[in-house]
Amino acid sequence: MRLPLRKPPTPTDNINLGPSANPNAKPTDFDFLKVIGKGSFGKVLLAKRKCDGTFYAVKVLHKKTILKKKEQNHIMAERNVLLKNVKHPFLVGLHYSFQTSEKLYFVLDYVNGGELFFHLQRERCFREPRARFYAAEVASAIGYLHSLNIIYREKLNFFCQGHVVLTDFGLCKEGMEEEETTSTFCGTPEYLAPEVLKKQPYDRTVDWWCLGAVLYEMLFGLPPFYSRDVSQMYDNILHKQLQIQGSKTVAACDILHGLLHKDQKRRLGAKADFLEIKNHVFFSPINWDDLYHKRITPPFNPNVAGPADLRHFDPEFTQEAISASITHTPDLAASSSSTSDAFLGFSYAPTEEDF
């Protein structure tokens, strides 16, 4: 049920928020304006930094929920990956992170062009040139992560400001050398690769399967093996042949079959990783250097009027009232040692020049 529209929250200067583990940042630095996203461990909020009026997306996570689900390693991995993202144009950047006794705060780039699937839901499917443009930028981002020995392992759920921005890194796996495998069962059901469902060791090609699934969904409006019955969908992923209906180019059909090959050793990208992807005929119209430097005009302009323009966010989020608990926390001294120890090293303070 959608909540009624509420007035923006009042400033929180007079609330005792407790000390921050990072002396350079604290919750009272911000006016929290709107909820713009939700996840398993907390929310993402549009926030304006009081000292300079800069807008950020602040991801606020609850420590107790993370610890209860034993997900602290994933959160710390997300923090580590975010710190490496600053060098790539299609990955969301982390400005700094800090914590209080109860919560973790990621201060991130704010992008209000809209989530890919929000636009896709409105338009049902994209034309091939538009889908190719987004897929190329996503592939570039994945290729960069792979060069750092990181696999993404997640539904490619990205925001668009004309250009792609990958935002979710909670399931990333670090230290994945070229021939190394892992076997953790994780991911979004519609996008799980066959080897993950079989609980077999998997490698970097799991990300190229996800790219294929998202490209298919952009072109056809649904994931490639989708069924409302999750058990049936898993069976489809494992055994059903890929169905490509309608008039798509030969190149589009070929790359989908290559990326969505059930045998990870024969999947596109298995031999030369990103190089195989960028050299596929489907991407022949793409100048990769121009793409990286954003010299290609995006096929879609979200036409946002400014940071406060929230038309491309789901009203289910933006109409939700902001709880005082987002900013109010007890003193650090009140937190248990286990809570404090679990997130040692989470806080990141930029240099004075950056800050």
- Would you list which residues are annotated within the binding site for ATP? 68
Cα 74 from Cα 178, distance rounded (Å): 21
Identify the DSSP state of 151.
Answer: B
Annotated binding site: 68
Per DSSP, what are the bridge partners of residue 165? 159
Report CA Rg, the chain: 21
| Residue 149 burial class via C-beta count within 10 angstroms: exposed 0-12, middle 13-18, buried 19 and up | middle
Q: Are 115 and 213 in contact (CB under 8 A)?
A: no
Rounded (5°) CA angle 50-57-47: 30
Category of 303 on φ-ψ map: left (φ > 0), alpha (ψ -120 to 50) or beta: left
Cα 41 from Cα 43, distance rounded (Å): 7
Q: Are 63 and 102 in contact (CB under 8 A)?
A: yes
